[in-house]
Amino acid sequence: VAFSVGEEERCGGDTSRLRGHLAAWNYFMSIKDKANDAFIKQWHTFIKDKKRVTNDPMEATYIGFNMWVKAVEKAKSTDPNKVIDTMVGIEYPNLTGGMAKMLPNHHLTKPVFIGEIQADGQFDVVWKTKGLVPGDAWSDYLPGSKDITADWADPKIKCGNYNTVTKKCSGQNYQ
């Protein structure tokens, strides 16, 4: 299973040798949904090329920008320090039929899809999560990460890399 091969990486090339390979993403262009169809149509109109593909990073940017707009409206300011405090809890529709939500760790809830590469280079979804998966900033399984948490809503933490053992935030100097 590839975790970094999407539509854009395969466009324009011979995909016959990749047919049947699997990739894991939160979005595939081939997912049928009204919002996704509209997004693809708008992209093709903008780029003036119907062969250009959409991909997971584009959907993530679409969601993130629209969440930022909602946060700016809520904060009544574009000041980053005011906007950041309004981000937690904001929801915006994703392009696959669900709703992305900003969590206290500043990661999103999103579905996960496993897609099989087809002869045309698109993906056929062969598996998906039953619901949305909460994004986690740190791994519970890695020694250097398991004691770290991210929580921007808790006034006692308000940090992206807070060590739950030492009770300290290492800020931008994570060690």
DSSP letters for 3-60: SS--HHHHTTS--TTTTT-EEEES--TT---HHHHHHHHHHHHHHT-TTPPP-HHHHH
pLDDT of residue 157: 92
Does the pLDDT of residue 30 top 80, yes or no?
Answer: yes
Same domain, 78 and 150: no
Same domain, 131 and 143: no
Same domain, 87 and 159: no
Same domain, 148 and 130: no
162: its two tokens: 């807070």
Amino acid type, 150: A
Same domain, 15 and 60: yes
Same domain, 167 and 115: no
Q: What is the pLDDT of residues 50-105, one digit of tens each?
A: 989 999 999 999 999 999 999 999 999 999 989 998 999 999 999 999 999 999 99
120: its two tokens: 């045309």
pLDDT of residue 11: 56
- Counted domains in the chain: 2
The β-bridge relationship of strands 113-117 and 123-128 is antiparallel
CB 110 within 8 A of CB 135: yes
What is the CB neighbour count within 10 angstroms for residue 7? 23
What's the predicted TM-score (pTM) here?
0.86
Does the pLDDT of residue 9 top 60, yes or no?
Answer: no
Q: Say if 130 falls within a structural domain.
A: yes
Q: Say if 97 falls within a structural domain.
A: yes
Same domain, 153 and 82: no
Same domain, 130 and 141: no
Which comes out higher in pLDDT, residue 49 or 17? Answer: 49
User: What's the whole-number mean pLDDT along residues 4-25?
Assistant: 72
pLDDT of residue 129: 97
Q: Which among 82, 59, 62, 64 is positioned nearest to 72, based on CA atoms? A: 82
Same domain, 95 and 154: no
Same domain, 99 and 25: yes
User: What's the whole-number mean pLDDT along residues 150-172?
Assistant: 90
Q: Say if 1 falls within a structural domain.
A: no
Instruction: Work out the widest C-alpha separation in the chain, in whole angstroms.
Output: 54
135: its two tokens: 């994004």
With 0-12 CB in 10 A as exposed, 13-18 as middle and 19+ as buried, what is 123? Answer: buried
Residues 6+ apart with CB under 8 A from 14: none
pLDDT band at 12 (very low <50, low <70, confident <90, very high): low
Same domain, 31 and 69: yes
Supply the mean pLDDT for the chain. Answer: 90
pLDDT band at 19 (very low <50, low <70, confident <90, very high): confident
CA–CA dist 119, 9 (Å, integer): 15
Could you tell me what percent of the chain has a pLDDT over 70? 90
34: its two tokens: 């009204």
Q: What is the pLDDT of residues 98-133, one digit of tens each?
A: 999 999 999 999 999 999 988 888 899 999 999 999
